Amino acid sequence: MQVKRVVLLFSSLLIIIYQSLGQTKPIPENIVKIPIGGNSWQTGTTSGKDNLISKAGIKQWDDPKKGFKTFVRLEKVGTLTIWLDAKINEPSALQVTVAGETKTVNLKAQHKKMVYLGDWVIRDTGYTVINIHGRPVNLSNIEYLGIHGTAVNDRVHFVKNDEGNFFYWGRRGPSTHLNYQLPEKDIMYYYNEVTVPEGNDLIGSYFMANGFSGGYFGMQVNSKSERRILFSVWSPFQTDDPKTIPSDHQIKLLKKGERVHTGEFGNEGAGGQSYYKFNWIAGNTYRFLLKGEPVANNYTNYTAWFYAPEVAEWKLIASFSRPQTSSWLKGFHSFLENFSPEEGIFERKVYFGNQWVIDKEGRWYEVKRAKFSADNTARVGYRMDYSGGSEQDKFFLNNFGFFSHYTPIGAQFSRSTNGDKPTIDFNKLP
């Protein structure tokens, strides 16, 4: 009997050792593969030129100061088994943390294969983060994580592939929009107020206030030291290269404000662009005014003004003339966007309040309702960390950061109003 106990104990120890080598679990045929290139971010030190993550995954990982975290949204609670696809160049020790539980996996050198990392219990639905560090570590050609278990079903959300450049768009995160409901009038002016809460002014953010059918107008965080007020008007000629726009479809600059840079833009449509470098402050409320008016020869002129409470006066950003267009303002909307893939991991929120429009007769209309929409990254379900709504007298958008709640696309919002019409002397606008 004593011999049997010793054998059982020895067998148990062998299983534990075998598990620590990451080789004990058969790989099921229906394993779900999560590409590193579209769903992971580097952790630890970010110094140096080499970013651990690329579209191909992780080419070489031998710096113990660096790690990576991968996000996946699970719609069920239950068990979660994880594998790592990698070549192990030298013996390594990985610390894998999931749902608050850390396991150490000791790996021996071997050719590229799927390495078993362990089993976890998922007790909450929503986003789960798989956090991996190595001390020591020398792995290469890491392409994906494999997951399986009772917590995994056909409604798992992550960026599944790079078709349509989705590793780039997925790492940027979902963009969301507020589409304002307006009276059926000929609208000449859009007015909006924007407040970014403290701590939400992260690099890569575009808080767009006054969007219209021909362009957009809002404020950005471009770097640690630079912020911009951006106003752009698209050419009616469909292209991403401004150099290909025929002369009769080119946006014309009519005037611009002092210290405002103007030029062309491309990549997401093309046209005329202007920006004013201004270090706006999170927590302050900024005012945006846009005018659109059809003029002779099938042109429409668009003019943008910006009001900062620190300056306490309206500033002209720019005025552009758009050819092949004869229209009053249409398509009033706001959006929240991140344009830096490395920053798509961080949550942001923005408030839009006190919206008004003015028709060509000079009559004011307060905007009380908005419809929620989102970009293709959200619509295909690759990222689900997006929401919107209203809080008292303001609408808001809230994206990124892999929070687990989300707002259904198409949701309708309304805000409380107090008739606080802004005071603007249009005759004194620059």
Span 338-344, average pLDDT: 97
Span 108-125, average pLDDT: 94
How many beta carbons lie within 10 A of that of residue 51, not counting itself? 12
Q: How far apart (Å, rounded) are the C-alpha atoms in residues 47 and 132?
A: 19
End-to-end CA distance of the chain: 97
Predicted local confidence at residue 269, as pLDDT = 60
What Å distances lie between residue 132 and 69, 105, 186, 372, CA to CA?
6, 10, 57, 36
Predicted local confidence at residue 383, as pLDDT = 99
312: left (phi over 0), alpha (psi -120 to 50) or beta: left
Tell which residue, 409, 343, 402, has the closest CA to residue 380.
409
Which of 2-11, 108-117, 345-354, 376-385 has the weakest average pLDDT?
2-11
Which range, 24-38, 41-55, 84-98, 231-245, is most confident? Answer: 84-98
Predicted local confidence at residue 243, as pLDDT = 80
Model confidence band, residue 240 (pLDDT cutoffs 50, 70, 90) = confident
Q: Is 143 exposed, middle or buried (0-12, 13-18, 19+ CB in 10 A)?
A: middle
pLDDT in tens, 398-411: 999 999 999 999 99
For the domain made up of 25-158, give the CATH fold.
Answer: Jelly Rolls (2.60.120)
Tell which residue, 352, 338, 350, has the closest CA to residue 393.
352
pLDDT in tens, 381-397: 999 999 999 999 999 99
Predicted local confidence at residue 263, as pLDDT = 83
Q: How far apart (Å, rounded) are the C-alpha atoms in residues 292 and 202?
A: 31
Q: How far apart (Å, rounded) are the C-alpha atoms in residues 410 and 289?
A: 26
Q: How far apart (Å, rounded) are the C-alpha atoms in residues 28 and 321?
A: 61
Span 201-213, average pLDDT: 98
pLDDT of 1 over the 50 cut: no
Which of 17-26, 44-53, 194-203, 258-267 has the weakest average pLDDT?
17-26
pLDDT in tens, 66-115: 999 999 999 999 999 999 999 999 999 999 999 999 999 999 998 888 99
Q: Which two tokens stand for residue 144?
A: 């994906």
Model confidence band, residue 237 (pLDDT cutoffs 50, 70, 90) = confident
Model confidence band, residue 267 (pLDDT cutoffs 50, 70, 90) = low
pLDDT in tens, 135-174: 999 999 999 999 999 999 999 999 999 999 999 999 999 9
For the chain, give every residue range classified as CATH 2.60.120.260.
25-158
Predicted local confidence at residue 245, as pLDDT = 85
Predicted local confidence at residue 24, as pLDDT = 66
Model confidence band, residue 236 (pLDDT cutoffs 50, 70, 90) = confident
389: left (phi over 0), alpha (psi -120 to 50) or beta: left
Percentage of the chain lying above the pLDDT 90 cut: 85
Q: Mean of the per-residue pLDDT values for the chain?
A: 93
Predicted local confidence at residue 101, as pLDDT = 98
Residue with tokens 């003339």: 321
pTM: 0.92
The residue ranking higher by pLDDT, 271 or 417, is 417
Beta strands in 309-408 (DSSP E): 313-322, 333-338, 348-359, 364-366, 369-374, 386-391, 394-399
Span 295-318, average pLDDT: 98
CATH placement of domain 173-428:
2.60.120.200
Predicted local confidence at residue 268, as pLDDT = 58
Predicted local confidence at residue 49, as pLDDT = 60
Tell which residue, 383, 388, 390, has the closest CA to residue 407.
388
For the chain, give every residue range classified as CATH 2.60.120.200.
173-428
The residue ranking higher by pLDDT, 94 or 238, is 94
